[in-house]
Amino acid sequence: MDNALSSEARQKLIQCLNALPQAQFEEVLYASNPAPGIVPGGQAPQGLRSKALMDWVEGPTGCGPRAFLPILAAYVDLETEAITADVHWLVPYPRNPFFTGREDLLQDMHDTLTRHQRAALTQQNRAALKGLGGIGKTQTAVEYVYRYQSEYQHIFWVKAEPAEELLTGYSNIAQALQLPGYDPTDRPAVVGLVNRWFEANEGWLLVVDNADDLKSVRQYLPLKGAGHLLLTTRAQALGDIAHPLEVNKMEVEEGTLFLLRRARLLSEEAE
């Protein structure tokens, strides 16, 4: 699903950026985190910088409009509903500009989740990144979300552990969706409310991070619906909960590229 900005919405955002005091523009720029050199320095006209920033936001390496709008909305009174046209984005992490490799894994994730686009939620559109702690499961999920965000209308991210975090995540989803009957004091009921929305809607991606205790987590997951479910877990035996995708250690070449980019000794686009 393509959520590109209309020309009118893009122009409105550029105008908002142009109207910001320079200090606030720099804060928006910092929070958006484009690679060095994408946006001209502070000596350039702000109109030129605003256009460059929006070009990046909407481009293939940018953070995407849905991630950018909340950043700008902290400084400008945006009517984001009109701009996003019923789009929801609850992702707590920015895109990692130094992410390197995992291309085959990212493609496998996409193939697994999209194999049956219109089917009810089955194992075919549930994937789980499994592997040791600290091996890169969460960062790979973050990269997937940003890389394929244009294919979804709603993207939600919840942390599975501790259980209180998972309930908070579902409560945040219910608030974002403005679900009728939402009661923040009745969190178990909120889970059912949110899952009924998942089951009745399409075009969504739910990421459940750190789902290590699958027996406990399973009771919170939507059982059906034309959406995609992505887990990250250290569990090795997944049963029928999701299609397993192993996250292995980086190859030496990938690790070297990552370190060079992180040290800014190599451009982020270099291969």
Query: Does residue 260 lie in a domain region?
Result: no
Query: Does residue 241 lie in a domain region?
Result: yes
Query: Does residue 155 lie in a domain region?
Result: yes
Burial, 266: exposed, middle or buried (Cβ in 10 Å; 0-12, 13-18, 19+)?
Answer: middle
CATH assignment of the domain containing 157? 3.40.50.300
Residues 108 and 198 in one domain: yes
Residues 185 and 63 in one domain: no
Query: Does residue 182 lie in a domain region?
Result: yes
Residues 121 and 245 in one domain: yes
Name, in order, each residue with C-beta under 8 angstroms of 124's C-beta and a sequence gap of 6 or more.
112, 115, 116, 243
Q: Say what the pLDDT of residue 262 is.
A: 56
Residues 127 and 231 in one domain: yes
Residues 65 and 114 in one domain: no
- Alpha-carbon distance values, 1 to 94, 150, 155, 252 (Å): 21, 6, 12, 36
Which amino acid belongs to residue 44?
A
For the ranges 7-11, 183-187, 266-270, the maximum mean pLDDT occurs at 183-187
Q: Say what the pLDDT of residue 120 is.
A: 64
pLDDT band at residue 149 using 50, 70 and 90 as cut-offs: confident
Residues 81 and 111 in one domain: no
Residues 117 and 15 in one domain: no
DSSP 120-138: -S-GGGEEEEE-STTSSHH
Residues 108 and 72 in one domain: no
Instruction: Please tell me the least confidently modeled range out of 58-67, 154-163, 169-178, 231-240.
Output: 58-67
Query: Does residue 270 lie in a domain region?
Result: no
Query: Does residue 219 lie in a domain region?
Result: yes
Residues 112, 106: Cα–Cα separation, whole Å:
10
Phi and psi based region of residue 239 (left: phi greater than 0; alpha: psi -120 to 50; beta: remaining): left
Query: Does residue 266 lie in a domain region?
Result: no
Residues 267, 271: Cα–Cα separation, whole Å:
9
Q: Is 229 helix (H, G, I), strand (E, B) or coil?
A: strand
Q: What is the pTM of this model?
A: 0.68
DSSP 144-165: HHHHTGGG-SEEEEEE-SSHHH
Q: Say what the pLDDT of residue 66 is.
A: 83
Which amino acid belongs to residue 35?
A
Pick the last residue of a domain from 37, 55, 85.
Answer: 85
Instruction: Fill in the DSSP letter of residue 82.
Output: H
Q: Say what the pLDDT of residue 29 is.
A: 94
CB 101 within 8 A of CB 258: yes
- Domain ranges, residue 49: 7-85
% of the chain at pLDDT higher than 90: 46
Phi/psi for 118 (5° steps) reads: -100, 5
Residues 138, 210: Cα–Cα separation, whole Å:
8
Q: What is the pLDDT of residues 206-231, one digit of tens each?
A: 999 999 999 999 999 998 878 999 99
Residues 19 and 150 in one domain: no
* Nearest residue to 173 (alpha-carbon basis) of 159, 188, 186, 158: 158
Burial, 36: exposed, middle or buried (Cβ in 10 Å; 0-12, 13-18, 19+)?
Answer: exposed
Residues 57 and 18 in one domain: yes
Query: Does residue 224 lie in a domain region?
Result: yes
Residues 56 and 124 in one domain: no
Residues 178 and 226 in one domain: yes
Task: Please state the domain count of the chain.
Answer: 2
